[in-house]
Structure formats: structure tokens, C-alpha cells
């Protein structure tokens, strides 16, 4: 710990307020035992280095990915080497990847302006996503509608696409959630491709057709609109909401620690400056409360799926405890079947298990809330990749990711259709 304080004192003043990432690197750190996990936690939790945790793990089975600012590279390397911690560099220059992503987006924007088509193989602004949601509803008025379920802290509308072939508001339903962590752009992009796939395949794919004959699907492609806009305009790696907190200059809440499922327990922080800050109380974030209120008022959701990135995992409750969920055996069977279907397209391997046993303990998560509120088929996907690009998955992987994810989603939805309760 004294090494951390010594080296941190040398660099701390110089990196405040920076939103460019010139020379910053992502380290993959392998821990082999509890002692090494403890040393790594000391490093990551130190304010001196301004490290940003990309992928964490509470076990020695999975590596940890950490974004290291350029000014911290040498002291962090020294600490890791002095403590005997094994590491490698997975991203050599973060800003170079961000520059490539920006160029790709600008090129796509110009192309879309000239041909007036939404390119599902590109990343988009919130406004472009909302326009395309309108287009889908307009192109398929008998199947799709855009529904406003609330607004964000900064008063942006929150829209879902409702896919339905039946009359009435309380048919058995599926909720597809994406983008709760704003920097996970592949989740929003996959959700939009999925929306178009649903309307395109209805009446052609017997599975999609039969699902929609019995159930409605609600798809929320951007669960954290303010954060998503901020990733486009200020800081590509922003994770949280953008809410303000009296008495703190730090902004935002981890919206996936804000649900009323063992709120403020393990795996969440009461520090407003933390990336996993749980917020002042459960459902304090209007983005979370809007979803909670909608689902509870509807009262007949049977399936809840939350799309995240990255790591290639398919998980089920619980996140807040290592206690086995009542339906764990059935959920594991469904998840393994879905992971098999997903892998059948390109061979992409997904690890399956409960959230707590697979990655780490996390209280206040969406999936645990759904499960504890009677939505039996509750799952979390962590999409591509396993860390080569991390949150900066190139746009040319959007459609391959979405296509394979669709096979997994469809498998789960078919199972829910056949096992209504």
C-alpha cells in the first residue's frame, strides 16, 4: 500500500478533467490466489492512479482488465512487478482506437445522409436511434409501436419498441434491455439490429411468428440515454447515469446497482465517485424507476433479458449472493441451450453460470430484481469480445455479434413461450 501512496503522489495532480486518452493502455492482470486479489484491489481502489476498471472478477479463474492512464503506466508497472502480479497489455494506445471509431462514425454519417438508410453495421447517436425506432414503427404499424415509458434525469425521452400481434395490454410479455451502462455500445447496436430482425422475420420465421402469436416483446435499446449521449459528446468511456447528488461533485449512479434487489449490498459502493455507486436509495435513478414502474404496472412479464458487454457470458440470478436460485437448474439448462445456439453460427464461445459465481457479487442488479419480482426467465448477456477491444468493439463486428446473439435470444424466448406460468 505504501508503494501506491508514494507513486500516486507523484502523478495525481496532472490528470484531472482529462477526456482524451493519448497513450493510455489497458492491462490484463491475472491473479492466482486470494492474496493477489487483495493486492490488485488495493491498486484499483487507490485514487492516486485514476485507474478505470473495465472487467473485474472476484475469483482467480478470470483475468481483470484495467485502463491505465499514460501518466500512471510506469508506477503501475512497477507495483505489479514488485508484487509479483502477472500482466499483459491488451490495448497499446486507447486513443488510436477511439480515433478509428470516430472516423468510422463520421464516414457512416455521410453515407447515411446520401442514401437515407440506417446502417445496422455502424454505431449511432441517440437521435439517429430514436429516428430509426420511429421508422420501424412506421414501416410495420400492425406489429410495432414506439412507446414512451418515461424520461431521463436530463429530460430525454425513454422509448421502447413494442412488438405485438394481439389486442389487450396484459398479454404475456418479454422485456429486452440494452445500454444500461452507456459505454457498452455493442449492446445498443445489437438491440437495434434485433428490433429490425423481429419485424423482418415475423410471418417468415415460424419461431418468431409463434412467439409473437402468444407473447408481446418490449425492447428498450437505450436504457441510459444521458450516459449514452455523454459517451458521444464528452467521454466515450462513461458508464453511469448523469444525475447530480447534493454534497458531491461526482456525477451519476451505476444504474445496474440501483434496483431494489439487496440494494446497497456487496459489489456496490456508497461513494458517489465510484463507478459502482448504488445511488442514495433503490430506484433513485429515474431511468430505472421508469422501467420498474412500467413492468410492475403491466404485471405479466415472463422473461427479462439485459444486454451488456463485454466478456461473452450468459448468466442468470443471483448476482447479490452465491446462494442458488430456486430455478437455477432450469435457468442453467436454458442458458446452455441458448449459448449452444449462439455458438452454432460462428463458434463464439459463451461461458454460462449464475452471475455471482461467474464474475462477481453485485447487489441491486436488474436481473435479480426481475427474478425476485416473479419474472422467472431472467438472464444477462455479456456480448463480444473477451477483451481484445473491450468496450471499443469495431463496427465491423456489430452484425456478426447481433446475428449470433439473436440465436441465443430466440432460444430463450421460444423456451419462455413453451413454458408460460
**Active centre residues (catalytic):** 382
Strands 351-354, 157-163: pairing is: unpaired
Task: Give the residue carrying C-alpha cell 449462439.
Answer: 342
Which residues in 31-92 belong to E strands, given as ranges?
Answer: 52-55, 64-68, 86-91
Cα 43 to its chain centre, rounded Å, is 25
Dist CA 293 CA 287 (whole Å): 10
At residue 97's C-alpha, the angle toward residues 95 and 103, to 5°, is 100
Whether the bond into 25 is cis, omega within 30 of 0: no
Find all residues with CB under 8 Å of 224, minimum gap 6, and list them. 152, 179, 180, 181, 182, 240, 241, 255, 287
Dist CA 5 CA 24 (whole Å): 21
Number of C-alpha atoms within 13 angstroms, CB side, residue 391? 24
The sheet that has 86-91: what strands, in order across it? 52-55, 64-68, 25-30, 86-91
At residue 311's C-alpha, the angle toward residues 223 and 200, to 5°, is 55
Number of C-alpha atoms within 13 angstroms, CB side, residue 71? 16
Kindly report the backbone phi and psi dihedral angles of residue 308, in degrees, each rounded to the nearest multiple of 5, phi listed first.
-130, 180
Continuous segment of H or E residues that includes residue 201: helix 185-201
Dist CA 402 CA 122 (whole Å): 12
Dist CA 269 CA 38 (whole Å): 17
Task: Give the residue carrying C-alpha cell 434491455.
Answer: 177
Cβ density class 187-222: b for 16+ within 10 Å, e for less = bbbbbbbbbbbbbebbeeeeebeebbeebbbbbbbb
Amino acid at each position: 500500500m505504501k508503494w501506491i501512496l508514494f507513486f500516486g503522489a507523484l502523478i495525481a495532480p496532472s490528470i484531472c478533467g482529462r477526456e482524451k486518452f493519448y497513450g493510455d493502455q489497458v492491462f490484463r492482470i491475472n491473479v492466482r490466489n486470494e492474496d493477489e486479489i487483495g493486492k490488485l484491489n488495493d491498486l484499483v481502489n487507490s485514487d492516486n492512479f485514476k485507474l478505470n476498471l473495465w472487467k473485474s472478477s472476484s475469483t482467480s479463474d478470470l483475468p481483470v482488465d484495467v485502463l491505465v492512464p499514460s501518466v500512471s503506466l510506469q508506477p503501475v508497472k512497477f507495483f505489479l512487478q514488485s508484487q509479483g502480479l502477472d500482466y499483459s497489455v491488451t490495448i497499446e494506445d486507447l486513443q488510436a482506437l477511439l480515433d478509428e471509431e470516430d472516423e468510422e462514425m463520421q464516414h457512416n454519417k455521410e453515407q447515411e445522409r446520401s442514401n437515407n438508410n440506417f446502417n445496422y453495421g455502424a454505431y449511432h447517436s441517440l437521435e439517429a436511434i430514436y429516428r430509426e425506432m420511429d421508422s420501424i414503427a412506421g414501416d410495420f404499424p400492425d406489429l410495432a409501436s414506439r412507446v414512451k415509458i418515461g424520461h431521463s434525469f436530463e429530460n430525454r425521452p425513454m422509448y421502447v419498441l413494442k412488438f405485438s400481434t394481439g389486442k389487450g395490454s396484459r398479454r404475456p410479455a418479454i422485456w429486452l434491455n440494452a445500454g444500461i451502462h452507456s459505454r457498452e455500445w455493442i449492446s445498443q447496436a445489437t438491440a437495434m439490429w434485433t428490433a429490425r430482425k423481429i419485424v423482418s422475420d415475423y410471418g417468415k420465421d415460424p419461431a418468431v411468428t409463434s412467439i409473437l402469436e402468444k407473447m408481446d416483446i418490449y425492447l428498450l435499446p437505450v436504457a441510459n440515454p444521458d450516459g449514452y449521449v455523454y459517451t458521444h459528446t464528452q467521454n466515450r468511456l462513461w458508464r453511469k447515469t448523469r444525475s447530480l447528488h447534493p454534497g458531491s461533485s461526482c456525477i451519476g449512479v451505476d444504474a445496474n446497482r440501483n434496483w431494489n434487489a439487496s440494494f446497497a449490498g456487496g459489489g456496490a459502493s456508497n461513494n458517489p465517485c465510484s463507478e459502482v455507486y448504488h445511488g442514495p436509495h433503490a430506484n433513485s435513478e429515474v431511468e430505472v424507476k421508469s422501467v420498474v414502474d412500467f413492468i410492475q404496472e403491466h404485471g405479466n412479464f415472463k422473461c427479462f433479458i439485459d444486454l451488456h458487454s463485454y466478456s461473452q457470458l450468459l448468466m442468470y440470478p443471483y448476482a447479490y449472493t452465491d446462494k442458488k436460485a430456486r430455478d437455477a437448474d432450469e435457468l442453467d439448462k436454458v442458458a446452455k441451450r441458448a449459448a449452444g445456439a449462439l455458438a452454432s453460427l460462428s463458434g463464439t464461445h459463451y461461458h454460462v453460470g449464475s452471475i455471482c459465481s461467474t464474475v462477481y457479487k453485485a447487489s441491486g442488479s436488474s436481473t435479480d430484481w426481475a427474478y425476485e419480482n416473479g419474472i422467472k426467465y431472467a438472464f444477462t448477456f455479456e456480448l463480444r469480445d473477451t477483451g481484445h477491444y473491450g468496450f471499443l468493439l469495431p463496427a465491423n463486428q456489430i452484425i456478426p455479434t447481433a446475428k449470433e446473439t439473436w440465436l441465443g435470444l430466440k432460444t430463450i424466448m421460444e423456451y419462455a413461450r413453451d413454458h408460460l406460468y
